[in-house]
Amino acid sequence: MSKKVLIVGGVAGGASTAARLRRLDESIEIIMFERSPYISFANCGLPYYIGGTIKDREALLLQTPEAMHARFNIDIRVENEVIDIDPINKTVTVLDIKRSTKYEESYDELVLSPGSTPIKPPIPGIDAKNIFSLWNIPDTDRIKNYVTTHNIKRATVIGGGFIGIEMVENLHDLGVEVDLVEMADQVMAPLDYELAQLIHSHIHSQGVHLHLKNGVQSFSYKQGVTTIKLQDDTSIEADMVILSIGISPNSELGKLAGLNLNKRGGIIVDDHMKTSDPNIYALGDVVEVTEYISGDRAMIPLAGPANKQGRIVANNIAGKDSIYEGSQGTSVAKIFDFTVASTGLNEKTLQRDGHVYGVDYFVSIIQPKSHAGYYPGAYPMTLKLIFNKEGKVLGAQNVGIEGVEKRIDVIASAIRFNGTIYDLQRLELAYAPPYSSAKDPVNMIGFAAENILDNSQEVLLWRDIDQLDLETTVLVDVREDVEVQLGRINGAIHIPVNDLRDRMSELPKDKTIVLYCAVGVRGYIGARILKQAGYTVLNLVGGYTLYKHYSKDYTNPELSPTESLVKEEVGLDGQKLHVSPVISANLEHAIELDACGLQCPGPIMKLATKMPELTDGDVLKVMATDPGFPVDAEAWAKQTGNTYVKSAKEGKSYVSYIQKGGRPNQANVLNQGNGSTQVVFSGDLDKALASMIIANGAVAMGKEVTLFFTFWGLNILRKREKVEVKKSPVEKMFGIMMPRGTSKLKLSQMNMGGMGTAMMHNVMADKNVNTLDDLIASAMAGGVKFVACTMSMDIMGIKKDELIDGVDFGGVAAYLGATEASNHNLFI
């Protein structure tokens, strides 16, 4: 006798089970229950119908009950809700919603694919009529209807997951001003924070207001407006609110049937998708699955796994032995111009499970182009790979404009086949200039990862750079001058990578050298040069670009919207730009410069090279595919005395208009710096006085002053009292012969056995001139940085404890770093 199979849920998992089952066995009786009026609809397309990208509502309905019945001979009962299961007698109770009647149906095998439901926590005011969740077609109709009939100007989306972010974009596309509130410190949970920051930047650049690390306290509705009170006590007003803060599995039926559930209510299944009851299968959002890489149990609610599990359930019911090996969470989303995709484990999960960076796993980040740079339309992407010490690939994340998901799909395949970073290197992927590079980004990330594992480059992560101890490390910026003008990491000295071979003697060998460039490539080249010359070198992963994003607060409303792309004509201050008629006229005749396909610093270098060819007043229109270019161009214009007019989006290009001239050349001001530096070499009283007088004067003028005490100058900093420290006999001799502190310093001339020096002290007292101690104290109070040269201290046997409090210890590199921001440098 043929089997009778009941299926609960008629969308992703349920419908694919039903269709496969029929294809395998014509004789099985299949009944599919769906409580809503629709089966097999495109959940994933719902936000785009609301935003208008999908115009035709019918396009969302992939299958009608009638069509599916005609094709597959399945008894489809919409608006029929299964409300109970009797696993002993193998029956279900069904509520016919339209007729409000109940009936029973028996089964041989039961399949549960009831999906999940958006979470709606008991927040005061959450039932207001302008607060919505998006999950199915009726939700979509309600939201679309409200948007069209209520003249929505401002909306708030609560929750920065996939659906929340898609709704942000779609509401924004409708011309609505959008706030996005997220309780965590980042949106898009599958990403690690530093990649999520790229998304924050992009969302911010569209004019969306981001509220991170902030939950909702309450909602209050009044005359069409809901006021959302956040946990930090600030409030947002919105004409409508979309709640998208997570989902919970629809496992009530499983509970009623006594099936084994996990803590989150997920139904536990074996690798055949069978529940703890031998005649009940479950799949889709409602089940707990095996996380493919770690082997841990997890809830991974995605359409791909649900559909594939449907095939496996059907196979097993039809007598095939079919196993589900687990989900790895491969996902992709469109966020305005960006595509964000990921697969496998992220660092957050690894760390949560006790795995340690640098021991249990490693990371590499590269920023390659989507295809050959010389072919138009190449865009940069930020690709992160996580792998273990054997080279096994654990996960990947990618953010960019083109070719993003293609790379993640390749890496997802590698993970499926237990691939390693060496496999990624070896993959032979399709190449022609419009599609990729001869070494595809996937190959490249494999190479970069190997460089880390075989120690040909040691790396430092963006998150560790602010904690660098500049006493033991020297931070070197190896970018070109024009890039450095646009910003750099505090404390870095600047040696362009091409100068590194000639200038490496400036770098101490007893310290760790940390190199950084824009994205990590030149840093790597520099690291190889220095490493082969015997230095200990680290290269900053992801370079300055990633660090810059990592350390920026995109929730700050003060942050200029030009931080990436200006849609309106606004300046750095966020105010609308007054575009003079002259500029407007010149805009039409702007000279075009194509910097598409070039990656930072390419576009800015091209701009800097082109500008001298123009005459004052000319406007240059620069097209770039690097999304960071408008920010760089604006900063560059400001630094170089040119006028940044506006930026705009043309297709997928970022266009910046810059007029030649029209502003004071900030670069000159900047290059001169506002610092004052001195090498205090001498330990003579008069020279020490001169040094302190200049330092105090410079502070009074608002300058940042650094004094670098070396050799005899160190004696100025010695404490008067004898300090017990361990010294070699030679060091002790030095200590005895050298003056201990300011009171023992002598005049450089006319000392006359100490008489001249004593006279000088008297004259200074008579004339009310501050003593050297007073001058030192006031300089320190004014913020003058006293740096004792550690190399000289070592030679002269002076120990840290012997020097007065408030002194920093550093090497020549720390001092050279300060000189770069200085407009004069004295040797005393």
Which residues make up the interface to ligand FAD (CB under 6 A)? 8-14, 33-36, 43-44, 46-47, 81-82, 113-115, 134-135, 162-163, 250, 253, 284-286, 301-304, 306
Tell me how far, at minimum, the Cβ of 33 lies from ligand FAD, in Å.
Answer: 4
Nearer to ligand FAD, 15 or 565 (CB): 15
From 289, 357, 296, 359, select the one nearest 324 (Cα to Cα): 289
Asked if 4 and 316 touch (Cβ cutoff 8 Å), the reply is no
Integer Cα distance of 176 and 406 in angstroms: 32
Nearer to ligand FAD, 139 or 360 (CB): 139
| Helical segments of 206-358, H only | 252-256, 303-317, 347-352
Q: How far is the CB of 410 from ligand FAD (least distance, A)?
A: 18
Residue 220 parent element (H or E): strand 216-222
**Residue 454 Cα distances to 157, 444, 446, 529, angstroms:** 46, 15, 12, 17
Choice between 114 and 683, CB closer to ligand FAD:
114
Beta bridge partners of 473: 512
Residue placing its CB nearer to ligand FAD in the complex, 301 or 520? 301
| Minimal distance, residue 416 CB to ligand FAD, in Å | 17
Residue 120 in tokens: 């709606």
Alpha carbons 334 and 167: distance in angstroms, whole number: 11
Tell the smallest beta-carbon distance from residue 665 to ligand FAD (Å). Answer: 50
Nearer to ligand FAD, 306 or 424 (CB): 306
Please give the structure tokens belonging to residue 811.
Answer: 């090497």
Helix 755-766 and helix 685-700, axial crossing angle in degrees, nearest 10: 30
Q: How far is the CB of 307 from ligand FAD (least distance, A)?
A: 8
**Whole-angstrom distance between the N-terminal and C-terminal Cα of the chain?**
104
Q: Which is nearer to ligand FAD, 249 or 627 (CB)?
A: 249
Q: Where are the alpha helices (DSSP H) in 380-420?
A: 404-416
CB count within 10 Å of CB 754 equals 10
Residue nearest to ligand FAD (CB): 284
Whole-number minimum distance, CB 11 to ligand FAD, in Å?
3
Nearest one of 70, 75, 73, 78 to 6, comparing CA atoms:
75
Min dist. Cβ of residue 555 to ligand FAD (A): 25
Q: 243: part of which helix (H) or strand (E)?
A: strand 240-243
Confirm if 695 and 776 have CB atoms less than 8 A apart: no
Say if residues 479 and 496 touch (Cβ distance below 8 Å). yes
- Cβ at position 283, least distance to ligand FAD in Å: 7
Contacts of 774 (CB under 8 A, 6+ apart): none
Q: Which is nearer to ligand FAD, 299 or 623 (CB)?
A: 299
CA–CA distance, 802 with 726 (Å, rounded to integer): 11
* Angular region, 575: left φ>0, alpha ψ -120 to 50, beta rest: beta
Residues 6+ apart with CB under 8 A from 737: none
Query: Contact at 8 Å (CB) between 69 and 86?
Result: no
- Choice between 35 and 488, CB closer to ligand FAD: 35
Q: Quick one: 162 or 786, whose CB is closer to ligand FAD? A: 162
Q: Is 789 an annotated catalytic residue?
A: no
Q: Which is nearer to ligand FAD, 43 or 382 (CB)?
A: 43
Q: Minimum CB separation from ligand FAD for residue 163, in Å?
A: 5
Choose between 4 and 528: whose C-beta lies nearer to ligand FAD: 4
Is 36 in contact with 138 (CB distance < 8 Å)?
A: yes
Cis check: omega of the bond before 601, within 30 degrees of 0: yes
Q: How far is the CB of 138 from ligand FAD (least distance, A)?
A: 10
The residues, ordered by sequence, that sit 6+ positions from 498 with a Cβ below 8 Å of its Cβ are none
CB 285 to ligand FAD: min, Å: 4
The residues, ordered by sequence, that sit 6+ positions from 224 with a Cβ below 8 Å of its Cβ are 130, 150, 239
Sheet holding 536-540, edge to edge: 458-460, 536-540, 512-516, 473-477, 493-494
Between CA 454 and CA 425 the distance in angstroms is 14
- The residue from 44, 596, 600, 789 that is catalytic is 44
Tokens of 286: 């409602």
Q: Minimum distance from CB of 43 to ligand FAD (Å)?
A: 4
Of 286 and 689, which CB lies nearer to ligand FAD in the complex structure?
Answer: 286
* Pairwise CA distance, residues 137 & 130, whole Å: 17
Spatial strand order of the sheet with 338-344 comes to 331-335, 338-344, 393-400, 381-387, 362-366
Residues serving a catalytic function are 44
